[in-house]
Amino acid sequence: MAFDMSKRSSYFLISPMALIFAIFLVVPLLTIIVVSFWDYDEYRILPDFIFENYKYLLGSSVTWQIYLNTFKYAALTWGFTLLIGFTVAYFLAFHVRSLTWQIVLFMLCTIPFWTSNIIRMISWIPFLGRNGLLNSALMGLGIVDEPLEFLLFSDFAVVLADVHLYTLFMVVPIFNSMMRIDRSLIEAARDAGASGFETLRHVIVPLSKPGIAIGSIFVITVVMGDFITVRLMSGGQSASVGLQISNEIGLLQYPAAAASAVVLLVTVLLIVTALLRMVDIRKEL
């Protein structure tokens, strides 16, 4: 009896969550999957069941090129945000002694996030341009004779903007993990004769892994789906999967966009699964 009651009440308790997920996640997702098998012409989408969208998508060299490009952006952004994010978090967690200062400096990191993504991105353009601030400064100082062209409308610019935008997503979870590390473990390591680097490698990094994994998931999923940074910072000259989807939507090719979205979703899910296999993030929770 008692078992039955508790079972029933737990079903009751999860129903609001389940309902919200069903309406706002499962239904739209199923719609996307269904539409990805439809046909389309210039201005209409035609209910159907065809594999043409997937066939073209997976068979086209453009898709592979675009995925390669997107992976490149994701990998580079991940690498840089991890490096910077870990360093910042390490500094905050272990070098800043007082809690007040930790909070103050942490808040400082979040200040740029008070303005819009797009504005932070666009402000790079006049800075990096051919006649921009950086080039004028470099030429003024006599460091270069010709303006550096690779600064803007290039892969460099895209990765730079991505790193600038998403490093905080790394800092926060890693900082959180680090703050949970029992300080006596570090003392123990030192007592056992470990150097600073050995402590970092054998104590801090393994214990920060859940934070690193969560940060990585944030950064990788955001960069994999991004389209506006790629469009603005590459001057429209590079493509990413997100940009491809956005173009297809613009051209009313919803079924093609849906197929692209499904493939992207599967790709990102595979990456996330792989990350979760490597690290048990439940430790964090």
Partner 1 sequence: MTTDNSKTTKNLLSTKEVTRRGFVKGAAATAGVAIGSGAITGFPTIWAQNIKDVTLRQFGTGVSNINAVADKVKEDLGFTLQMTALDSDAVAQRAVTQPKSFDIADIEYWICKKVFPAGTMQPMDTTKLKNYQYISKLFIDGKLTPDSEIAQGTAPHTVGFVEGADSVEFASAPTQWMTLVPTIYNADTLGIRPDLIERPINSWADLLDPAFKGKASILNIPSIGIMDAAMVCEAMGEVTYGDKGNMTQEEIDKTIAIMIDAKKAGQFRAFWKSFDESVNLMASGEVVIQSMWSPAVAAVRSKGIACKYQPLKEGYRAWGGGIGLAKHLTGLELEAAYEYIDWYLSGWVGAYLNRQGYYSAAPATAQKFMSEDEWGFWMEGKEAQGDILSPDGKVMEKAGAVRDGGSYEERMGSVACWNSVMDENKHMVRKWNEFIAA
CA gap 197, 104 in Å, rounded: 27
* 250, 45 Cβ separation under 8 angstroms: no
User: Which is nearer to partner 1, 93 or 233 (by Cβ)?
Assistant: 233
In the complex, least distance from residue 134 CB atom to partner 1, rounded to whole angstroms: 14
Say whether residue 236 binds partner 1 (CB under 8 A): yes
User: Which is nearer to partner 1, 90 or 225 (by Cβ)?
Assistant: 225
From 81-89, 90-98, 193-201, 242-250, give the range in contact with partner 1 by CB under 8 A: 242-250
In the complex, least distance from residue 136 CB atom to partner 1, rounded to whole angstroms: 12
User: Pick from 36, 69, 208, 216: which binds partner 1 (CB under 8 A)?
Assistant: 69
CA gap 256, 54 in Å, rounded: 8
CA gap 278, 174 in Å, rounded: 16
Say whether residue 55 binds partner 1 (CB under 8 A): no
Burial label, 247 (beta-carbon count in 10 A; 0-12, 13-18, 19+): middle
In the complex, least distance from residue 23 CB atom to partner 1, rounded to whole angstroms: 22
Contacts of 148 (CB under 8 A, 6+ apart): 134, 135, 138
User: Which is nearer to partner 1, 10 or 65 (by Cβ)?
Assistant: 65
* 212, 174 Cβ separation under 8 angstroms: yes
User: Which is nearer to partner 1, 43 or 114 (by Cβ)?
Assistant: 43
In the complex, least distance from residue 77 CB atom to partner 1, rounded to whole angstroms: 19
Say whether residue 206 binds partner 1 (CB under 8 A): no
User: Pick from 105, 251, 270, 278: which binds partner 1 (CB under 8 A)?
Assistant: 251
Where in 125-184 is the site for partner 1 (CB under 8 A)?
Answer: 126, 129-131, 149, 152-153
**Start-to-end Cα distance in the chain:** 33
Closest CA to 199 of 186, 212, 209, 208: 186
Where in 2-41 is the site for partner 1 (CB under 8 A)?
Answer: 41
CA gap 203, 209 in Å, rounded: 10
In the complex, least distance from residue 251 CB atom to partner 1, rounded to whole angstroms: 6
The residue count for binding partner 1 (CB under 8 A) is: 32
In the complex, least distance from residue 221 CB atom to partner 1, rounded to whole angstroms: 22
The half-sphere exposure of 195 on its side-chain side, counting CA atoms within 13 A, is 2
- Residue 115 neighbours by CB distance under 10 Å: 10
Name the residues that contact partner 1, by CB under 8 A: 41-44, 56, 60-62, 65-66, 69, 126, 129-131, 149, 152-153, 231, 234-239, 244, 247, 249-253
